[in-house]
Amino acid sequence: MNSPKSATVVEVGPRDGFQMEKRFIETDTKIEIINALIKSGIKRIEATSFISPRAIPQMRDASEVVNKILRPKDVFIEALVPNPKGGEDAAQARVDGMRIFLSASESHNRKNVNRTIEESLSGFKEIMRIAEKAGIPVAADIAVAFGCPFEGDISLDRLHRIADRMLELGVRGITLGDTTGMATPLIVRKTCESLLKAYPGLALGIHLHNTRGIGLVNVYEALSLGLTNFESSVAGLGGCPFAPGATGNVCTEDMVYLFHELGIQTGIDLSELIKVARKVEQVIGRPLPGQVMKAGARLDLHSFAIG
């Protein structure tokens, strides 16, 4: 396989995972988990969302979290920013990067942020202005990029049009999100090849879900295309809003296990990361989908004792 020598793992659990939890996770616990993730060697973390506390109460401590976590120079802390108010707060908290987002389908964008795609794109201008003034780079997430649960397949033409507009706005990178787990290896290949061809040098990230069990197959396919930027969630935190009991984000430590077994460097200490995943499962208080945290790494051998 034509896979890269190293890959960047972007941990999204503290934002994408925690925001689905109804019970408030104490700010100190969030900080402890993010710090442990950093200590395990993760270099890029989506730490929180600067969203209205009325919309998502779980994220009401966004500023405090960003202010109190470790901020080593080689770790890039990002936050989701849904609107100019969030942009101001994120700039104030001195995040390393802001993330703006919209959906590739009108139905999902309407459902998610109650706007048309055009309204979302217009709204980004003010966020970009705030970020530029603060000297903070902005990256863009395109949700349901590999399929929409309401509309089905997403045309390449539509993705190109959205990417064009995002790049015109001045984003530094684009991440394709498989929000409800509709990506397949063939669709990942077709989509990523098309975008990489149209935008040579684009920092193209991918955010895959394991909703239908093939999240890591899609990761494997994306690796073979040369992608090096992979979003995932520790312990597999986060679910799927349309399928109770179904898995959401690809699990970070399972993905890191795969990378290491393929000889792809991540800079992450897998055994430390497994400890964080087990801690996260304790905090959440129910079984989470991560597999490696249950089974241990490959050569954690068992002693042999007859009967």
Active site residues: 240
DSSP assignment, residue 148? Answer: B
The yes or no reply on residue 154 touching a copy of itself (CB under 8 A) is: no
119, 213, 226, 271: which one binds a copy of itself (CB under 8 A): 213
Residues in the interface with a copy of itself (CB under 8 A) total 57
Least Å distance between CB 300 and a copy of itself?
Answer: 9
The two structure tokens encoding residue 180: 């409800």
The yes or no reply on residue 152 touching a copy of itself (CB under 8 A) is: yes
Q: Which is nearer to a copy of itself, 135 or 285 (CB)?
A: 285
- Rounded Cα distance, 204 and 222, in Å: 11
Q: Which is nearer to a copy of itself, 79 or 256 (CB)?
A: 256
The yes or no reply on residue 222 touching a copy of itself (CB under 8 A) is: no
Cβ-in-10-Å burial (0-12, 13-18, 19+) of 191 comes to buried
The yes or no reply on residue 290 touching a copy of itself (CB under 8 A) is: yes
Q: Is 50 helix (H, G, I), strand (E, B) or coil?
A: coil
Q: Do residues 33 and 294 touch, judged by C-beta distance below 8 A?
A: no
Q: Do residues 235 and 289 touch, judged by C-beta distance below 8 A?
A: yes
The yes or no reply on residue 286 touching a copy of itself (CB under 8 A) is: no
Q: What is the sign of the dihedral through the CA atoms of 180, 87, 283 and 293?
A: positive
Q: Binders of a copy of itself among 172-191, rule CB under 8 A?
A: 180-182, 184-186
Least Å distance between CB 221 and a copy of itself?
Answer: 8
Helix (H) or strand (E) holding 120: helix 117-134
Amino acid at 247: T
Least Å distance between CB 12 and a copy of itself?
Answer: 17
Which residue, 46, 76, 78, 62, is CA-closest to 232?
46
Q: Do residues 81 and 127 touch, judged by C-beta distance below 8 A?
A: yes
Using the rule CB under 8 A, give the single segment among 35-43, 54-62, 94-102, 142-150 that binds a copy of itself. Answer: 142-150
Q: Binders of a copy of itself among 24-63, rule CB under 8 A?
A: none
Number of neighbouring beta carbons within 10 Å of residue 197: 9
- List contacts with a copy of itself (CB under 8 A): 1, 107, 110-111, 114, 147, 149-153, 180-182, 184-186, 210-214, 216-217, 219-221, 240, 242-247, 251, 254, 257-258, 261-263, 287, 290-292, 294-299, 301-304, 306-307
